[in-house]
Each structure stands twice: as structure tokens, then as C-alpha cells.
Amino acid sequence: MQSVLSMMVDRVRGLRAGVVPLLLISAGACNALDDLLSVELPGSITAEEAQSPAKAAALASGGITLFNCTLLGHIVEGATLGDELTGGTGGANTADNRSFFLEYTLGTAGTGCLGNSWGALSAARWHNENTLALLQGWSDQEVTNRSALMAQAAIYAGYSLVLMAERFCTGAVDGGPELSSAQLFDRAEDLFAQAITTATAASNQDLLNLARSGRARTRLGLGRLADAASDAALVPQGYLKNAEYPGTAAVNENGVYTSIVLGDTRTIDPRYRDMRFNGVPDPRVVATNTGRVTRWAEPLWIPAKYPTRTTPIRMASWQEAQLIIAENRVRSGDASGAVAIINALHAAAGIPSFASDDAAEVLQQVIYERRAEFFFEGQHIGDFRRLELPLIPAPGTPYYNEPNQTWGSARCFPLPNSERSSNPNLAMRNLTTVR
């Protein structure tokens, strides 16, 4: 009996061997799927059973597991390229110093959710889009709750594309041409629109809220703030959706905990070790000094919000929706409306209120709120690119672990040559240094 993930890997290998597969998965996903095959995923089923409507719910459940896996790599790698993690990575020409030397290897090196991020992300996107296509080919009589399952698959495919668009300079899907971040966001927006329609038909409010949250984040990435705020305004107060990590296997445990809290290769950037507003510690950003050091003898600070391997990770929330609305308000001339949202969040956090009627100052506070509210949740890398946040240390500054190297200016990860070498529609890049 062949598992459905094994079937996916075999189809990739067939592509590499020159055999035309029935369904194409992005070539970079093969290594990730190999790693995932080593464990029994919740909801994993055989290839034969995958074609059976009776197993539709299990197939959809596997898509959530794959997405939750790739979210971990997005958080850790985004924190490394952005400014939430620093140092301790053992050399220059890495995400840590914002430059990539020669062949960018993310997608071929390492295993599982963190070390094979491009492959894991491609696998999550493909699996959920394929599940959606299967469900669309079945009927309501064949599949119980088909509309809800279609909404779920579309949502997790959409979020996979959002992570791809936020973190990678370009992307590719199903062996196709190179796509810009905007094109990836556009594809995600179409999926969230489908999800909104099917979640509405299913009268599933949780999925509807998640679809609206995903489309709001997508539209924010596209720079369409008014449209993003329209979706965000429909997310109810108190809404929260977590990615869950039961910890029954390496693929479904909180890898932020295992790689950062238990590890010794990276440390929280000093800017996040004692974040304060008006002199008051901000409880949304808590970093703990372990008293240990990294393997490069730097003080080892860890994020306190992930204390165990089963701690869930926030994926979407009312707070996210409110800050999208706040950014739209201040940029459209309603600074006082943005301040009201900021102060509602401050009241919930127990920190002093904010006061200003200067639009530029209010916008900077909204940016601060996003840094604090979404600390180590994978949102900051998108802001790092979208808002062109300051590069600290400045490009050209000597890199402290490698005194003969300097900090670069890269804000996104290049599409790895491992994808290019297996995709006939992409050209290999002979990189010197991407900065």
C-alpha cells in the first residue's frame, strides 16, 4: 500500500526521470515529502483511498498538518532574515547577514519542517490545492460537509501561497514559470475568495473568519489597504485561530521550541529583549535570558511565548484584523481612528495609552504594534519587505562573526537553484552574492 504522500513523491521522481505525471508538484517539494514520509501523519491515507470520497476528510486533515509544518520554517527563517533573530549562525553569506552566496541551498539542506522549508512549503501548497480539486470533482452526496472541506483546503492552499509570497523573492508552482510575489498573492486571493463562498454555503463561521483573515493579509501584501480593511472589519472581536502541534512526531511538534528554545545557534535580537512602551515593559514581547550561550559564545535569549513542543502558534486573530484597519485609517487620513484601535490593544495588554494626532507618528506606532503583537509569529518578514523597514546594522557594516564580510541588504529569500534545476520553465542562476 502506498501512502498519499509517497504517491506525491513518486510523481515528482517521475518528472525528474522524464515521465509525465498525472499531477505535478513543485519539484522542490520532493525532499520535504521524503522527510514527512518517515512519520505517520494524522489523516494520512493510501493513494488508492485518496481517490475515494469516503476519505476526503482525512485527506483534508493531512493538508493542515503539512501547512502547520511549513509555518515553522516561515517563522524561524523569516525571523533570521528579518530582525527578530541575530547572530550565532556560524558564518556570513546566510540569511542572518542578509546575503546569500552562490547556490542558495534552502530547499535541499536539512530535514523536516525547518531545514527543508522551500520543499515543505511547496508540498503544503500542492497538497491543499490537489485536495480542493478532488473535492470539486465529487458531489455533496458523496462527501459529507464537502463545502466546508473545500473551504478548508482553499484556505490552507491560500495561506501556503501567502507565506511563499512574503518570504521568497519569487516562486513557482506545479513546474510552471517564475512568479512574482504579487502573482503569488493574486493566486492566494483567488483561493480565499473560493473559500469565502464555500464557507458561507457551509454556514461555517470559523472557516469564514479564517478565509477573511487570510484574504485581508493577502490584500495587505498587495498594497490594497482599503480592500484589506474591508475584509478585516468582518472578523469578530475575540477571533483566534491557532496552528496546533500535538507533538506526536517531529513533523507535528512546535519546531520553534525545538530549534530556538532548545537549540544554541541563534539568539533573540537585542531590540526585542526588553521592549517597552513609555518605559513600561510590553508583555506581548517577552524574551528570556537562558544564562547559556550560543555555540559562538553569544548570550542565548529565547522567546518566552513557546515554552513547550506542543505550544500552539497563532495563525490569525482579531488583533491582526484591527491593525490592518488601523493602518488603513492612518494612511487614509483618519489618525484618530487608528489611535483608538492602538489604545484598545494597549488596554488589553496593560500598557499606557498612546496619544498623537501626527499621521507619521501614528503610522510608526502602528508599525511598532505589529512588531509587538506578532512577535515570532511569522508576520514580521512580510512587514520587513512591504514597509522597507530599516536595515540594522546598515549594509556594508562589518559582519561580527566574519570580520572580512559585511551585512547585505536582501529582504527576501531567492528561489533556490534546487527548484530551478528541476523545473524546465526556470533558468539556473549563477549567483555571486544576492544582497
Band (67; pLDDT cuts 50, 70, 90): very high
More confident residue, 141 or 392: 141
- Least confident residue range of 51-60, 128-137, 365-374: 51-60
Q: Which residue has the cell 548570550?
A: 299
Question: d(Cα 127, Cα 26) in Å, to the nearest integer?
Answer: 10
For residue 3 the three cell numbers come to 501512502
Helix, strand, coil distribution of the chain in percent, nearest 5: 50, 10, 40
Q: Is the pLDDT of residue 370 over 80?
A: yes
Average pLDDT over residues 311-335: 98
Distance CA 143, CA 55 (A): 9
pLDDT digits (tens, 9 = 90+) for 275-296: 999 999 999 999 999 999 887 7
Mean pLDDT of the 141-160 span? 97
CB 125 within 8 A of CB 26: yes
Separation between Cα atoms, residue 179 and residue 199, nearest integer Å: 28
Local structure of residue 429 (DSSP, 8 states): -
Q: Which helix (H) or strand (E) holds 427?
A: none
Which residue from 160, 162, 180 is spatially nearest to 170, judged by alpha carbons? 180
Phi, psi of 142 (to 5 degrees): -85, -30
- List the single range of 244-253, 348-357, 369-378 with lowest mean pLDDT: 244-253
- Tell me what pLDDT residue 21 has: 29
Report the first-to-last Cα separation within the chain, whole angstroms: 47
Q: What is the C-alpha to C-alpha distance for residues 135 and 142, in angstroms, rounded to an integer?
A: 10
